[in-house]
Structure 1
Amino acid sequence: MADFNDELTAQSEKPYIASNYIPASTVQVHASNLLQLPNGDLLCAWFGGSQEGISDICVHISRLRRGGRSWSQPQTISDDLNRSEQNPVLFSNPRTQELWVLYTAQPAGNQDKAVVRYRVSKDEGQSWSEAKNLFDDEGLFIRQPITVLRDGTWVLPAWYCRTPPGYRWIGNDDISVIKYTHDNGKTWSEKEVPESTGAVHMNIKPLQDGTYIAFYRSRWADNIYTSTSKDCLDWSAPAPTSLPNPNSGICFDVLPDGRLIIVCNDSRFESGQAKREGLYDDITPEDDKRQNQPKQTKEAIWGVARKTMTVGVSSDRGQTWKTKVLQEGDGFCMTNNSRTKENRELSYPSIRVDGDTVNVAFTFWRQRIKFFRFSVDWVDS
């Protein structure tokens, strides 16, 4: 049984590293996303309820005030009683300073029926507008934040959960796209990332030379993938890095000295490992039209242990990495049922660099969001 301490407690002062857990008001929590406000407060959003895919899953948010040592009690900020509301992404509109939360809303485990919605706060997250659909597209999913280009264009990475007619989604044919807007979210255009089948959760950052780099989760549970762009609109095809990936979320940022810092699982699928036939085995019937689908060149792999949350640093744009363990764990995730407390995954990290301080949040056993704060010196030690 984990000791879910609320107080930010240092494990080391030199180099500095401290951690705590964000309070939870639901049985299951997952998919955190961090955002630092102009006043220095840190916000964390995630989804929580009884179990992923069930309609009581809603978006929740908590705040760590600047200089504070504990997170506020969660506030629920979505309320569709018929859909599972997942993968929140926080965004601060640079023109108006309004706070946005974007998230997906889907019936049961049918990600191919998801829509992307948003709400806006004019008081830094104390109150929110009514939910609206951001796009008309069905089957569109998000996980990573908006990038604002030098000319003011917003770029939102996304992916389509596609499946043959008459079958349920299992992730075999997902592709990445970018949605972009020149008018602060009023109208949007789209470009597909070439040859991106299976490469999802696209995370984009600008580099010091003015170009852009992205990293992706792999449906094939093999490696993290990467691609580059000169303008953040037209991207190269994703190619595998040396970092492993168990078909789980990743997140990266850029340090003040230009190095890349990534948080990810140190695991991948190996021949002979146990795997699941689909993500939502716990809540869907056996005859759910997931079996006997038309064969793809590759098939998504689920159930690989999401273990050992690792920090990686690269000085050569992701070609090579120096890694360090942030959290040990066996990462068992053959069930999404949090009521039985069998799930021990470490997953879905979010990272925000604030000068020489690094903030990281991730799913801990689907029971809490765990938060770490450490100095860049800790990474290099």
Structure 2
Amino acid sequence: MKTFSLLCFAMLTCNLTAQIAGGFSAVSPKDKEAMAAAEFAVKAHDPKLKLQSIESGERQVVAGMNYKLVLNVMDATAARQAAVVVWHKLDKSRELTSWEWLKAKEAQAGVLKSEFIYDTGPYPSVHATTIVETPTGLVSAWFGGTAEKNPDVCIWVSRLVDGKWTESVETANGVQADGTRHPTWNPVLFQPRNAPLMLFYKVGPSPSTWWGELKTSTDGGKTWSAAQKLPKGIFGPIKNKPVQLPNGDILCPTSNETDTKPSAWAIYFERTSDLGKTWQRTELLHDGLKVSAIQPSILDLGGEKIQAIGRTRQGKVFQITSDDLGKTWGEISLTELPNPNSGTDAVTLKDGRHLLIYNHTAKGRSPLNLAVSKDGKVWEAALVLEDEPKKEFSYPAIIQTSDGLVHITYTWKRQKAKHVVIDPAKVELKPIVNGQWPQ
């Protein structure tokens, strides 16, 4: 009997250890019991406080359950964060065992605003933001649904009106004439000169089988045209914004992913001189294996010289240049900047400097960094927008608006779309030496 009891205790201990490795296990911020614990904590600490959301959470099996949570709380008119522990006892009662106000993260030079475009939406997962300035204001878009690649994933659009982002509107989906449905991917907003706003996106089961579609808006993103399927072999900008050349041509940075093993990832460029009615494209610019590169961004180096930089599977950001506005290109090569096989974006400012938004790490998708360069070759550290370990901050988009400010959007933990406003004249720069971000 004693042996049996010891065996049962050992099995129970082993089971609990597997369940709560390290004592605590992650819990979703949307978990009903975690939310009940959060609401209890706020009310118990100070009924005048208002719970906004759970930033992160863990739970631990004890005589009941401990919830260790980081809460977003409104204190009068100020947004603050608190770290709390709530004990949910076996008798169903709760006890607030710990409350600690967290220090606000120190503001970085040049950062004017950091906000979520929305708090909740009709989709649990979002990705691949894009942003553009139109004559009537800023417009942003992303794809959202139950999860990337699922058929319910649609393109959602939000507009900045009177300083607030509107509720997102489903603007495109993958529903076909025969009733079948495919996911949508990677929206790209672009405002040509004296022409309707353009929304490029992809439709299809996977990057190796998708096709490109285009919608336009004549009222700054309020309403949209019917979808236009792009010609076979033309996808439009694959993730990052096009540029409009002095002659009016729109040059789209794009790339190809084959279904071979290993998949060949190669960049190329598409061009339209009539707002998407007809197209030309270059050949693939490399074999896609020695340097596996996708999702380029275009920088203006002056005159007819342009540069493209972006994502690779080789652990570094790639670069390639053209001396004739993208008609022909040189050899692709790797820079010293790390890339964890994650999307980047870049823009050339009116003062001639270049900004690159990317994950400065060899693995994972945190931190999210902003670097600055005068020549597209030597980069300096500017900002760290996110740095929470083991979380995802990814697929950024970056533009400069007519007032000189810089706007960045990105995927925040696959849960929300975030918007940051920066004054590029005020950022403080430090050298990046041998690819190492300065401490």
Q: TM-score range by the shorter chain?
A: 0.7 to 0.9
Aligned pair 1:351/2:398, yes or no? yes
Aligned pair 1:100/2:198, yes or no? yes
Structure 1 stretch displaced more, 244-253 or 2-11: 2-11
1:63 deviation in Å?
1.1
Q: Which residue of 2 aligns with 1:83?
A: 182
1:12 deviation in Å?
4.7
Aligned pair 1:37/2:131, yes or no? no
Structure 1 stretch displaced more, 173-182 or 4-13: 4-13
User: Distance between the aligned counterparts of 1:171 and 1:155, measured in 2?
Assistant: 29
Q: Quote the sequence identity (%).
A: 26
What is the one-letter code of the residue matched to 1:105? Answer: V
Cα deviations across residues 133-165 of structure 1 (Å, max 9, x unaligned)?
A: 11212888711112111111111111112123x
What is the one-letter code of the residue matched to 1:158? Answer: T
* Structure 1, gaps ≥5 residues long: 165-169, 269-303, 333-343
Aligned pair 1:232/2:291, yes or no? no
Cα deviations across residues 348-370 of structure 1 (Å, max 9, x unaligned)?
A: 01111124311111101000011
- Which aligned pairs between 1:10-49 and structure 2 lie closer than 5 A? 12=107, 15-23=110-118, 24-25=120-121, 26-39=123-136, 41-49=137-145
Contact 2:143–2:155 at 8 Å: present in 1 too?
Answer: yes
Q: 1:377 to 1:183 in 2, by over 3 A?
A: closer
1:317 deviation in Å?
2.0
Aligned pair 1:314/2:373, yes or no? yes
Q: Secondary structure at the match of 1:47?
A: strand
User: Distance between the aligned counterparts of 1:226 and 1:141, measured in 2?
Assistant: 17
Q: Secondary structure at the match of 2:379?
A: coil
1:5 deviation in Å?
9.5
User: Distance between the aligned counterparts of 1:307 and 1:173, measured in 2?
Assistant: 26
Contact 1:104–1:115 at 8 Å: present in 2 too?
Answer: yes
Contact 1:60–1:78 at 8 Å: present in 2 too?
Answer: yes
User: Distance between the aligned counterparts of 1:258 and 1:137, measured in 2?
Assistant: 34
Contact 1:33–1:350 at 8 Å: present in 2 too?
Answer: yes
Cα deviations across residues 44-84 of structure 1 (Å, max 9, x unaligned)?
A: 1100000000000000011113x61x311101101223111
Q: Which residue of 1 aligns with 2:350?
A: 256
User: Distance between the aligned counterparts of 2:411 and 2:171, measured in 1?
Assistant: 19
Q: CA RMSD in A?
A: 2.6
Q: Which residue of 2 aligns with 1:216?
A: 310
| Higher fraction of helix | 2
Q: 1:157 to 1:351 in 2, by over 3 A?
A: same
Structure 1 stretch displaced more, 123-132 or 7-16: 7-16
1:17 deviation in Å?
2.4
Bigger radius of gyration: 2
User: Distance between the aligned counterparts of 1:12 and 1:377, measured in 2?
Assistant: 16
Contact 2:149–2:183 at 8 Å: present in 1 too?
Answer: yes
Q: Which residue of 2 aligns with 1:194?
A: 285
User: Distance between the aligned counterparts of 2:221 and 2:236, measured in 1?
Assistant: 25
User: Distance between the aligned counterparts of 2:182 and 2:308, measured in 1?
Assistant: 30
User: Distance between the aligned counterparts of 2:110 and 2:278, measured in 1?
Assistant: 46
User: Distance between the aligned counterparts of 1:5 and 1:249, measured in 2?
Assistant: 32
Cα deviations across residues 299-356 of structure 1 (Å, max 9, x unaligned)?
A: xxxxx411100010112322333343121122x3xxxxxxxxxxx2110011111243
Cα deviations across residues 15-38 of structure 1 (Å, max 9, x unaligned)?
A: 452211011411001100010112
Aligned pair 1:136/2:229, yes or no? no
Report how many aligned residue pairs link the two structures.
322
Q: Secondary structure at the match of 2:220?
A: coil
1:237 deviation in Å?
2.2
1:210 deviation in Å?
3.9
Contact 1:119–1:132 at 8 Å: present in 2 too?
Answer: yes
Q: 1:99 to 1:31 in 2, by over 3 A?
A: same
Aligned pair 1:185/2:233, yes or no? no
1:241 deviation in Å?
1.1
Q: 1:16 to 1:223 in 2, by over 3 A?
A: closer
| Higher fraction of strand | 2
The one of 133, 136, 146 equivalent to 1:50 is 146
What is the one-letter code of the residue matched to 1:254? Answer: T
Q: Which residue of 2 aligns with 1:123?
A: 219
Contact 2:299–2:354 at 8 Å: present in 1 too?
Answer: no
TM-score (norm 2): 0.68
Contact 2:342–2:394 at 8 Å: present in 1 too?
Answer: yes
Q: 1:78 to 1:15 in 2, by over 3 A?
A: closer
Q: 1:171 to 1:56 in 2, by over 3 A?
A: farther
Q: 1:245 to 1:74 in 2, by over 3 A?
A: same
Cα deviations across residues 203-259 of structure 1 (Å, max 9, x unaligned)?
A: 113233442111120023x11111111222211222111111000100111223211
1:193 deviation in Å?
4.5
TM-score (norm 1): 0.78
Contact 2:371–2:379 at 8 Å: present in 1 too?
Answer: no
